[in-house]
Amino acid sequence: MQISGAVALVTGANRGLGKHFAQQLLVRGAKVYATARRPELVDIPGATVLPLDITDPQSVTAAADAAPDVTLLVNNAGVDTVTGLVTGDLDRIRLELDTHFWGTLGMIRAFAPQLAGGAILNVLSAMSWFNYPGRTAYGVAKAAEWNLTNGVRLELADQKTLVTALHLGAADTDLSSDYDGPKGDPAVLVRAGLDGLERGSVEVVADQWTAHVKASLAGDPADFYR
């Protein structure tokens, strides 16, 4: 994937990783559509701002119509409702899946026809591969998004669309503001994802914690959770 000269659309570009993606893509020579549910909060000089709620099919269709030249789709928009599965509010659990699974799938379906020879980058998580008390709905949604990524990669292979999964641990952004553990530098994590795209990587493991989680999958789950 050659980023210089590409036309990128970034979801959730008003803050956090999304803002870093938009800024770094501009520096690398891409034209950028920066999208958000509240576009008035997007402050990225040089980007074209569009309204977009990925959980609203009409909003997704409108974005695809407004950006027919996109060659790189960065599915970054996300939510963490800090909800458990057994006793948690079902509407909040559905929001996790509506955002990470259905929202991501809706974006891919809307933009796929114009991404032949282009690329998709899905921002996933170390929690694609494990779960954590208090955030189990998030873990389920990210696991679903991971296998969605694997599935669409197969389906879009014939049109030569690169589909890259970016897996990372906690990043120092608003989304993880209530987490008091180690956090990665969002600029470094985003750079890893974009470097992976330019290498043609189908998976980017952006930090040591995520690499540790992935390596544990070959072992006994009891050992990891202990």
Q: What is the CATH number of the domain that holds 59?
A: 3.40.50.720
Which parts of 52-147 are beta strand (E)? 72-75, 119-123
Residue 127 lies in a domain: yes
Residue 1 forms part of a structural domain: no
Contact 167, 205 (CB under 8 A): yes
203 domain residue, yes or no? yes
Q: Tell me how many domains the chain contains.
A: 1
Domain for residue 202, yes or no? yes
pLDDT confidence of 58, banded at 50, 70, 90?
A: very high
Domain annotation covers residue 212:
yes
- Give the pTM: 0.94
What range does the domain containing 126 cover?
7-225
Residue 17 dihedral angles phi and psi, to the nearest 5°:
-60, -40
pLDDT, one tens digit per residue, over 79-137 is 999 999 999 999 999 999 999 999 999 999 999 999 999 999 999 999 999 999 999 99
Q: Average pLDDT of the chain?
A: 95
2 lies in some domain = no
Quickly count: other Cβ atoms within 10 Å of residue 87's Cβ. Answer: 6
pLDDT value for 80: 94
